Structure 1
């Protein structure tokens, strides 16, 4: 591990707490509003930031993030614009890790080498490509690692011990554990199942583990933060964006402040739990023992 992602997780470990990873779709509901949100996420409690690359066929995403992608595409957002947006953010923030999340098709059309060069120059730290399995590592994963960009894998409740080694083999940065089976934003979390899965992942990888999908409240975030290295929230923030659009789909004046208030509330839930190794292991064991 190296770079901003590694430094941030080292800082979190030294502080004895889990981190908050926030997700928003780039360009939702428009480029200017998104740029304002992005610029203020770190001071509102985001330790790492995931930025969705809008795509017309987001098969792993639920209705909320699908709608966000459609709004961004309608507003004219392109993959090139995503990288420009990151570059502008980097002019004011050199430390907060940025991870792009999306699908392979737009990257393939952009051109692999061209995309990786532009992403690195813009200040992208990692990418999550949900529809590119490890059998195709040569297409993007290995070139990304060679370019100095972390390639972050998703592990799911259906990733068994036979599949996990191939998923983790070239993973860097952190492991994104999907806490529920299915698409984003459609189910709630089961902390007992998460604790068991996190313990299993720790036995197979030294990487930090971030848990996402289904986490919507400060209380849920606090519970997950007791067993994971980071908590990922996305759909609840995207829903907050959608709730503050006018009848024409334009951002209302209170959109930015409302989304950031939601981030601060969830961040407080995460930050109130000390999460050094001993307390984390004790929390995991308590949860697992309570399940019988």
Structure 2
């Protein structure tokens, strides 16, 4: 059997037809148009899914289901995207119902970090692990958590929203209202904002990291502190959930070894349990397609 994976983001929606092996048969991307009603955007997603299935020359009966990964907060049990900050006009959108009415096959909705964690469990860095956390650090920060071999969803599917854990109130007020949230300090968005303030000119996240690598004396201490704060977040995850491994993905993880070394050093000193200090901290293996492959995996690996 095959399945369709849909990965909804703030700027684009990735859609793919995926085999049981995890191989992508057909894929495409459409822009996330925030100027139209969510129902219109979902219509475009449905049409693109239909187009991709036709291109594979498969019948709808060959598709086990459609898995959707979306930014939270959401209500996965009732199939509703409730309040994602980066999809400003998507409020209480019954996406599962609209997709199911169009195709009349099973449709599953999960938090996007959960979908990516599913992909890492199925095909990536967590194939051997029953207890692990996948942490994505990109526009925002979130985590997908596997406990005893099962994806940890929570009562509404929002478990793992670690981006709004308070780590250092001195960094100021997050848009969520709390002071010093992890996401407000260490996400790609935060790094671009704070790096620009420190440099006195508009910089992208990539440009901030370029200056860090070049040894910029203003940027370097800040980025080193970001790495420390990601270490703090990992220690909190280890102390709370006792995982075997933490996998870090998302755009910020592309900075590579300096980040991983700093986080491993921090964890090896501060995790409470001596065994917890040896928790593996590794890069994601499926970053590019993790969301869409994991979303399909929600149907294929049930």
Higher normalized strand content (fraction of residues): 2
Decide which structure has the larger Cα Rg and report it: 2
